[in-house]
Amino acid sequence: MSKLSVSLGIDRTKALNVLSLVLITFLVVLSPKLKAQPTYSHRYSVDDGLPSSFVYRVFQDSEGLIWVCTDQGVVRFDSQRFDRFTTREGLPYNDTWGIMEDSRRRIWFMSYSSAFAYYDLTKRKVHSIPNPFYSNELTWGIIDGREKGTFAILSEGTHLALRSENQTSTPTKASQINKADLIRQVPILGKYADDFVVQSLYENIDFFARTSPALLPDKWKEQSRYVRTVLLYPNQTVFGKEQSITLYNGRTSRTKPMSELAKSQDEKLVRLSRIGESGLILVVTQKGHFVIDQNLNRLHIYDFIEHLAINSLLIDREGNLWIATKDQGLLMITQKALAVMNIVELQEKSVSVITTDASGRMWFGTVNGEIYWQDKQGVHRLALNPIYPAKVNRITSLGPHHVLICWDNIYHAIVPISRVNNRPIDLQELDHTKAKRDTFLATLHPDKAYLFRWKSLKDFCPMNENGLYIATTYRVYQLTLVNNHYQVLPLLSTRRTFSLAINRKKILWTGLATGLQAYRVQRAMDQLSESVINLPTKFALRGPVYDLSTDRHDALWVSTDGDGLIRLSDGNETPISQTLGLTIKDIHYSSVTDRVYAATNQGVLLVQTTHHQPFRYSFTKLSLKNGLPSQEVHSVYEQLDTLYVGTNKGVSKISLSDENLPTRSSAPVLPVRISLLVINGRSMPIRNRYELSHSQNNIGLEFIAPTFIKNQTLTYEYYFYSKQQPDSTWHSLNQKRVKEFTDLDPDTYTLSIRAVDQNRTVSFRPVSITFLIQPAIWQSFWFRMLLFVCILGLLAGLAWVYIKWKLKRQQGMMRTVLTAQEEERQRLAADLHDDLGATLSAVRYELEHRHDNTQRLLHLLDHVIDDIRTISHNLMPPEFDRLGLRAALEEAVQRISQRAAMPIELIIFGTEHPLASDVELTLYRIALELLNNVAKHAHAQQATLQLLYYPDQLMMIMEDDGIGYTLEGNELKMGIGLRNIKSRAKFLNASLQIDSRTGSTTTTLSMPL
């Protein structure tokens, strides 16, 4: 470490003293500012994963990752986590102060020269190369020789060439090779390496002069002893001496003394250091630090680092600034915070007014009465005599040639714009208070400035290009300046006026202690004066109105005491809820962007009108996190897409382009990096192509696109392309950084992943990986053909079995139908034989033997007729199609009940549903079969037939108290009647249930409707 301190131009004792002083300064001055920017800035410490708070160097590799070198090891940061590299991971030493990446994507670490270490970005592994010529020295620079290998330049004049060709590395002393070959690589240092210490080149200056004449002045050898640092670029060289910095491009040179660049005359240069690839240069002096560009111009935007104890800076590809400190770890300030420019000339000034004049020149007024104006050369103070040390309330244009300035609501000055320069301006005082009847007339000299005294002047607003409306506590006046004639005329009387505004419709609004009052201004006939008409207002505000502003929609914006910002339009009040409870000190409306700005005690509130009728708006707040020096804002003004914010600690210029408001970022999206790849649960090394077996078909990935912008929201998209499914559509993963693919079929897959920011900016290099999954033997073409033939044969066999079963079933159904028909014929024959045949035989006998028994014959004939009617009714009830099921059942129950001399009750319940004729006929046949069974075989005393209609089913229940059905074992003996009932129930797709026991038999038929 002693050599490191010497190389920085500071011995150990002095370094400790300076470090203590800088630490106190940092904690007192800078720390609050950094802590006040939590959204855009961050401090990374040991608690976040840094090995140490002493950071040497910050570096960004080609993948966008941040590398941090400390005295206790190296860490890599991907915006989510720190990966640590120490001697455990292969580094020769933990104390590492330098880092660079060569053309072969290897990260080299600079430490003690006993060994050289690098991290291979492709293989993701640390490699260490021992140095056989170890001399206990420090590696200060690595030069990428591309085709000739990688060279290491050591401090104290020793050079070592490290050739690394064909994946082999062999250290060689520079004395054993031509030193010119080593020196010729020096110009590459400016493009690929970081810093260079001139002391290591003193003995080889002559080689510089011969090999790189375009980069070295003619008198380099004579002047080299005074040079503290040299930075070599492809087309120019920067030399740093104690008292000056010189830029040389091979033809001309430019020199700037340190007294011009630094804030004090006696600051001396210690060293120069590149700030990454930004082209900016860090200047380290004995008293602090500052930043210059390659044209040797000091950049004041970085002046906040002046008293910070730092080792180096980096500006990454997103524009963020990384600060490697000696005691505070790693600080990061984003591009948005850096985009806020604080006007140096107004630092620590409490600025109360910001505006422009007719020529577009910016004006600033402070609470101490000072006036500043700005042109292309910078900000200048307006030297007025006498100086009135009171708060500047208003500054505005009065015609095209004058500016009106108001102090403390008492004095106002009229200054010709032609007199605005760096010379003193004498003010000639005039007193309005002595005017009679509040009318004041004066003729002004065009080149003189005047100071006027008023009584409690409160506010003014433009009347026309040559005049203003001016409000005092109890009156409103017209002030005009035409052809050097200054005139003040009273317009109206008011009650405790605080503010004034006028819209395009010539409605003059006055903000009073008790609310608002509106007046319509009318031009008088003489065209020199105006009159007003008092208008009734529809708005009832509770407190005093301190500020007013009108927009291009003729809406009125009001700031009140405690109610925040309110928009009044067409009789509607729209409070801006986000401003409740805030103290609003100034309202500014921009007609160009249709925005309203409110200066408050908590920053600037921006209200953007998105729709006028009905009124809708978007809201943005600018405060410390946006880089304001203070959240106590007094004034705000927009000009040319730039917002000027006046606070009690100076003025900030904020660009209103999309890069800053509201959330847009112009930074590029860094490439996606695969951090983990898992196949079947096993972590795999990261490659571009994988050949996998059929069982390795479960793939998981974890990836990230590094972004160090705290409010940057990245979403991820992927496409998974295969030959079988050629889909190249990008699918969104939202903010998920993990993707899994399971049970993949054998095929060739190409996976591509990219990152997209909220503005649809795509990462410039999507990551792509190819997976070739080989098919298994049983997934081959011939195996599939064999399987197809087997399945085809199986299907044919099943089809043959099914057809046979179906034919057998149809035969069984035909047999059942024929059997039922035959049984029906047998029953009909039995009825004819037993009933009708016996009766006819009796009739024949009577006719043969008894000729005188006429009554007996008539009775037999009646019986024959009844039997014929019964048989015919059993076959088809008369008028069944016309009367329906209900009438047929009633007739059948009545007939069988009379014939069997047994009471049979018919119950029909529910709403009858219309049924098909064949369904009704089948139900009738079943009911008739049940009734005949009970009448003939049950020996019952009574029976009941129920027909129950439900919404989803129809139930037929036959109950009797007879002897029940005959059993064969535990099953019913199926006679002709029961078989007929069962076959007909199957036709109706109905269920049949028989509960038979002695004294109670129930037959239930349930048919779905």
> Phi-psi bin for 940: left (phi > 0), alpha (psi -120 to 50), beta?
beta
Sign of CA dihedral 602, 603, 609, 612: positive
Reported as a pLDDT band with limits 50, 70 and 90, residue 947 is: very high
| CA 45 remoteness from chain centre | 28
Q: Is residue 257 part of a domain?
A: no
Is it the case that residue 93 has pLDDT exceeding 70? Answer: yes
Residue 470 within any structural domain of the chain: no
Distances (CA, A) of 854 to 371, 839, 851, 865: 151, 15, 7, 17
Report which of residues 822 and 422 the model is more confident about: 422
Domain co-membership, 983 together with 889: yes
DSSP classification of residue 515: E
Top-confidence residue, 979 or 972:
979
Q: Distance between CA atoms of 195 and 16, rounded to whole angstroms?
A: 23
Neighbours of 543 (CB within 10 A): 12
**What per-residue confidence (pLDDT) applies to 386?**
83
Residue at 405 is within a domain: yes
Percent of the chain past pLDDT 90, that is, above it, reads 13
Residues 27, 93: one domain? no
State the CB neighbour count (10 A cutoff) for residue 18: 16
Residue 8 pLDDT grade (very low, low, confident, very high; cuts 50, 70, 90): very low
- How many CB atoms neighbour CB 290 within 10 A? 20
Number of domains in the chain: 5
Please report, to the nearest 10 degrees, the dihedral formed by the alpha carbons of residues 101, 102, 106, 112 taken in order: -70
- Report for 556-565, 597-606, 650-659, 806-815: range of highest mean pLDDT: 597-606
Which residue(s) pair with 239 in the sheet?
230, 246
User: Do residues 84 and 49 make contact, with C-beta atoms less than 8 angstroms apart?
Assistant: yes
pLDDT of 815 reads: 67
Dig out the tokens for 915 from the structure: 């049924």
User: Is the per-residue pLDDT at 55 higher than 90?
Assistant: yes
pLDDT digits (tens, 9 = 90+) for 530-573: 777 777 776 767 678 888 899 888 889 998 877 788 888 887 88
H or E element at residue 606: strand 603-611
Closest CA to 353 of 588, 36, 17, 37: 588
Residues 45 and 181 in one domain: yes
Q: 388 pLDDT exceeds 90?
A: no
pLDDT at 33 exceeding the cut of 50: no
Collapsed DSSP state (helix, strand, coil) of residue 354: strand
Judge whether residue 894 has pLDDT over 60: yes
Question: With 60 as the cut, is the pLDDT of residue 13 above it?
Answer: no
Q: How far apart, in whole angstroms, are the C-alpha atoms of residue 374 and residue 376?
A: 7
What whole-number distance in Å separates Cα of residue 782 and Cα of residue 771? 24
User: What tokens does 460 get?
Assistant: 């003014």
Helix (H/G/I), strand (E/B), else coil: 554: coil
SS (H, E, C) 428-447: EEEEHHHCHHHCEEEECCCC
Q: So what's the pLDDT on residue 363? A: 92
Q: Which amino acid is at 740?
A: E
Strand boundaries in 357-439, DSSP class E: 362-366, 371-375, 378-381, 384-385, 392-398, 402-407, 411-416, 425-431
Containing structural domain, residue 391: 353-454
- Based on the fold, state whether residues 16 and 154 are members of the same structural domain: no
Average pLDDT, the chain: 77
What's the mean pLDDT in 393-416?
87
pLDDT of residue 879: 53
Q: Is the confidence at residue 177, as pLDDT, over 50?
A: no
Residue with the larger pLDDT of the pair 854 and 349? 349
So what's the pLDDT on residue 647? 92
Is the separation of the CB atoms in 356 and 363 below 8 Å?
yes
pLDDT band at 180 (very low <50, low <70, confident <90, very high): very low
- The region, left, alpha or beta by phi > 0 then psi within -120 to 50, assigned to residue 626 is alpha
One-letter amino acid at 912 equals E
Element at 910 (helix H, strand E): none
How far apart are the C-alpha atoms of 919 and 550, rounded to whole Å? Answer: 86
Task: Note the pLDDT of residue 729.
Answer: 84
Q: Quick one: pLDDT at residue 210?
A: 43
Question: Which of 779, 794, 829 is the C-terminal boundary of a domain?
Answer: 779
Q: Which residues contact 517 (CB under 8 A, 6 or more apart)?
A: 494, 495, 509, 510, 534, 537
Single residue among 421, 439, 454 that ends a domain in this structure: 454
CA atoms of 100 and 149, how far apart (whole Å): 15
- Cα 763 versus chain centre, distance: 16
* pLDDT at residue 796, rounded to an integer: 92
In a domain? residue 325: no
**Strand bridging mode 449-453 / 425-431:** parallel
Percent above pLDDT 70 for the chain: 75
How far is the C-alpha of 399 from the C-alpha of 958, rounded, in Å?
A: 113
Greater pLDDT, 93 or 207: 93
Band of residue 224 on the pLDDT scale cut at 50, 70, 90 = low
Distance CA 331, CA 42 (A): 6
Q: In the structure encoding, which two tokens stand for residue 509, read together?
A: 């609004």
Asked if 24 and 121 sit in the same domain, the reply is: no
- Fill in the DSSP letter of residue 263: S
Tens digits of residue pLDDT in 858-880: 777 777 777 776 666 666 665 56
CA distance 773 to 744: 8
* 101: in domain: yes
> HEC states along 151-180?
EEEECCCCEEEEEEECCEEEEEEHHHCCHH
For residues 746 and 138, the model is more confident at 746
What is the residue whose two structure tokens read 């005074």? 226
Whether residue 184 is predicted with pLDDT greater than 60 in this model: the reply is no
Give the mean model confidence (pLDDT) for residues 573-590.
87
Express each pLDDT in 734-756 by its tens digit.
Answer: 888 888 999 888 888 999 888 88
* Whole-angstrom distance, CA of residue 255 vs CA of residue 43: 36
What are the φ/ψ torsions at residue 928 (nearest 5 degrees)?
-65, -40
Higher pLDDT, 562 or 206: 562
Same domain flag for 65 and 140: yes
Residues 57, 69: Cα–Cα separation, whole Å: 5
- pLDDT tens-digit map of 151-169: 555 544 445 555 544 444 5
pLDDT of residue 77: 92
Domain end call among 779, 812, 842 = 779
pLDDT given for residue 140 in this prediction: 61
In tens, the pLDDT along 246-265 reads: 888 777 888 899 988 887 77
Q: Assign residue 369 a region (left: φ > 0; alpha: ψ between -120 and 50; beta: otherwise).
A: left
What's the one-letter identity of residue 562?
Answer: G
For residue 242, with 0-12 CB atoms within 10 Å meaning exposed, 13-18 middle and 19 or more buried, which class applies?
Answer: middle
Cα pseudo-dihedral 978, 981, 984, 990, rounded to 10: -110
Same domain as 419, residue 399:
yes
Q: Which residue has the higher pLDDT, 339 or 501?
A: 501
Q: Which amino acid is at 848?
A: E
Reported as a pLDDT band with limits 50, 70 and 90, residue 200 is very low
Q: What pLDDT, on the 0 to 100 scale, is given for residue 36?
A: 29
Kindly state whether residues 44 and 175 are assigned to the same domain. Answer: yes
The predicted structure's pLDDT at residue 211: 45
> Do 27 and 122 sit in the same domain of this protein?
no
919: domain CATH number is 3.30.565.10
Shared-domain flag, residues 57 and 1: no
**Residues 173 and 149: beta-carbon distance below 8 Å:** no
Inside any domain, residue 638: no
d(CA 518, CA 487): 24
pLDDT for residue 73: 93
Give the pLDDT confidence of 614-660 residue by residue, as tens digits: 788 888 888 877 778 888 999 999 987 788 999 998 888 887 754 44
The per-residue pLDDT for range 472-523, each reduced to its tens digit, is: 888 888 888 888 888 888 888 888 888 889 888 888 888 888 888 888 888 7
Tell the residue number behind the tokens 């003489």, with chain if given. Answer: 526
Cα–Cα distance measured from residue 106 to residue 120, given in angstroms and rounded to the nearest whole number: 5
pLDDT confidence band for 22 (50 / 70 / 90): very low
pLDDT of 869: 65
- In this structure, are 902 and 987 located in the same domain? yes
Distance separating alpha carbons of residues 821 and 816, to the nearest angstrom: 9
Q: Is residue 973 part of a domain?
A: yes
The pLDDT of residue 294: 82
CATH code of residue 705? 2.60.40.10
In a domain, 150, yes or no: yes
| Residues 6+ positions from 929 with CB-CB distance below 8 Å | 977, 980, 981
Task: Tell me which of 75 and 299 has the higher pLDDT.
Answer: 75
- First-to-last alpha carbon distance for the chain, in angstroms, is 99
Q: Across 37-138, where does the E strand assignment appear? A: 41-44, 55-60, 66-70, 73-77, 82-85, 98-101, 106-110, 115-120, 125-130
Edge-to-edge order in the sheet of strand 289-292: 269-274, 281-285, 289-292
Residue 806 and residue 889: Cα distance in Å, rounded?
A: 37
Same domain, 767 and 890: no
- At what angle are helices 885-900 and 917-933 packed, to 10 degrees? 10
Q: What HEC string does 206-275 produce?
A: HHHHHHCHHHCCCCHHHHHHHEEEEEECCCCEEEEECCEEEEECCCCEEEEEHHHHCCCCCCCEEEEEEC
Q: What is the pLDDT of residue 12?
A: 36
Radius of gyration, CA atoms only, the chain: 52
| Mean pLDDT of all residues in 184-202 | 36
